[in-house]
Structure 1
Amino acid sequence: MAGKRCCIPGEVIPTISDWEMHLGTIYPEVRLRKYLEMRGAGSGPWKTFCGLPAFWTGLLYDEVSLQNVLDMIADWTTEERQMLRDKVPKTGLKTPFRGGLLQHVAENVVKFAKDGLERRGLNESGFLDGVVEVAITGVAPAEKLLQLYSGEWGQNIDPVFEELRY
């Protein structure tokens, strides 16, 4: 990368741009760019579309909210975090966690985010309404779509394109 590597005849020495392009092909939950790209929920229903950036803004741009979250998760074990990564895609906020459901954690974290937005004083907390609804009900947008698919839509996938259209 520094140009000091011997090159195989006919080969080009890789550059930092090559490395940056290579890093852009991996998809972890958080990708480091010139900013943090949060990838866990890249899309969703319109009413929650602005809620996710507002959620992260309320947590990461407010020292009090950020510290509250750090305090909450400080004693979570590696095994607990891995269990959440494994189970949450299947059981969502109904995942059992520390004597309750993950929904209780979500309610607290969403409150921290809302408080952080309110401290910014930019009237942004309304963007969290859809996210607050998910935390309070424990029902994720994907679960709602599955209910529609199994019920009202008669196992027809076509209506999902209308439901998620922007």
Structure 2
Amino acid sequence: MTEKTDKQTHERQWERFAEAVPLIWQQRERILTDLQLFGARTPMRIRMAYVSMKDSGPYPLGVVVRAWSEYAENYTRVCPKCGGQMLIYSFSGSPLSGRSSHSATCTACGYRQLHVDEGSFGRLASPIMRIASEYRDLPKGDALSFEEAVILLKRL
């Protein structure tokens, strides 16, 4: 695969992930109780300036759902279009300066905000890394691919 096709594949994965946020949120209870769905690999990972850290992703779908549910104050924003709940599905930043940028999708209307510069990097990174560390030994063998998980969730 060339670097260009690699980049295109990566961008398509992010696009599908961003589009699937409302569906994932709607089916969150099912994701948390079904190991195959829980373990599905999302493209979500923490991109950091200058350092790399353990448990920075890519995260299983269940870890993302737990972060959204258990730390709503960190991972939700109000949708400027409809007033609904937006969930942060991507963020990056610097652990040194604390600055961060995030992208979010509205669970109600699907509106997306990309690369919003606000918030604290630590507030976004710490909870999801802590949750991910609990699942470090999760067997990856029977987890669905993200695409398979979305197809299954659409059928439910």
Q: Which has the higher strand share?
A: 2
- What TM-score comes out, normalization by structure 2 length? 0.26
- Rg larger in 1 or in 2? 1
- What TM-score comes out, normalization by structure 1 length? 0.25
Q: Which has the higher helix share?
A: 1
